[in-house]
Amino acid sequence: MRGVIRVLGTLSLLLSLSVNAGGIKKWVDEDGKVHYGDVPPPSVTKTESVKVPHSSDVTHSAETQEKAVEGDASSSGGDDYYSPQNQLRRMEEQKEYEQRMRLQRRNDARSEELLQQYKESQERSQKQQDKIDSASCEKYSANVEEYEHRLMGPYGSEEKRLSDKSYLGTLKSLQAHYCK
């Protein structure tokens, strides 16, 4: 079994060296599907070079390599885990993940900023409402005093006194509302 592993390891090393010699290219076809390879089709005009790590950059234990050769789904995903294509796929997935995380952090920061602006706006509105309520409280308190004083004095008619008492009740309810 170790002989097979060594042969496969040597073949993958040679494959990665030959791929690195010409470089791996990345291109997108007409359907928007991303492809990797060393030679794009003649119809492709725009390619991007992709750096593949050298085999000396990545070290693997014999046990890990055996699992990959045996096709252990947990370590190889059903394919050759260490193949250049799978390494590129993982690198692309990592880039996409990092981009999603940057976008999420930016969205979180913007949400936090908007929430802070909303709170500040609410505080300003509350302060304005408190000023209005305070002014109204003073106004209705003065009117209540005036009508209480008026009710102590003489009236020409009982009807006028009852009307002022009714109005005084309205003033007191408004005073209670604004003078919390």
Best CA proximity match to 87, nearest among 36, 130, 42, 133? 36
| Rounded (10°) angle between helices 2-22 and 62-70 | 90
Query: Quick one: which of 13, 97, 91, 18 has its CA closest to 50?
Result: 91
pLDDT band of residue 19 (cuts 50, 70, 90) is very low
Please give the Cα distance from 56 to 67 (Å, whole number): 20
For residue 59, what are its two tokens?
Answer: 């070290």
Q: Which residue has the higher pLDDT, 135 or 154?
A: 135
74 and 118 in a single domain? The answer is no
The pLDDT assigned to 25 comes to 81
* CA–CA gap between residue 122 and residue 78 (Å, rounded): 57
3-class SS of residue 115: helix
Domain extent, residue 151, equals 109-178
Supply angle C-alpha 150, 151, 157, rounded to 5.
105
Give tens-digit pLDDT for 58-95: 444 445 555 544 444 444 444 588 888 899 999 999 99
Q: Is residue 73 domain-resident? A: yes
The answer to the question of residue 102 being in a domain is no
pLDDT digits (tens, 9 = 90+) for 136-161: 999 999 999 988 888 888 888 888 88
**pLDDT in the model for residue 49:** 80
Query: Into how many domains does the chain fold?
Result: 2
In this structure, is residue 94 part of a structural domain? no
Threshold 0.85, pTM exceeds: no
Specify whether 113 is located in the same domain as 168.
yes
